[in-house]
Amino acid sequence: MIVVLQRVSEASVTVEGALIGRIDNGLLVLMCAEKGDTDAVADKMLAKILKLRIFGDEHGKMNLSVQDVSGGLLIVSQFTLAAEVSSGTRPGFSKAAAPDEGRRLYDYFVDRAKRSHHQVQTGRFAANMQVALVNDGPVTVPITLRDSST
């Protein structure tokens, strides 16, 4: 699983002109399920995101998590994070999970996030989304996790 976290002061997702998700202070979570990802990988990724200390404390040191600052999560599916660009000029996406499995893992991740965190908003899986954000810092953190049993 690949995630790109962006610490934001605000972020939103619009589909076909309609606002479908919005947060203020928090994390924009761009998420890509890859072939072979499991529920256990999604659980581990969510735990990492919720505890990652990338918000400033009273001294400006990155020492607080999204939970510590009561920030929101805006979770957006983005299969293009699995892009393979080592050859040619057109990205390939063969490492991304198949659409049905990608949707299942995205829905699972969102469900777990909603059970674990007070404020969760989402994009729409497989939709053409317009994502707007104000990156705070800027702070952008890529995370890749794989099933250690394979």
End-to-end alpha-carbon separation of the chain, Å?
Answer: 14
Mind telling me the catalytic residues? Answer: 78-80
CA 71/CA 55 separation, integer angstroms: 10
CA 77/CA 84 separation, integer angstroms: 17
43 in Cβ contact with 148 (< 8 Å): no
74 in Cβ contact with 21 (< 8 Å): yes
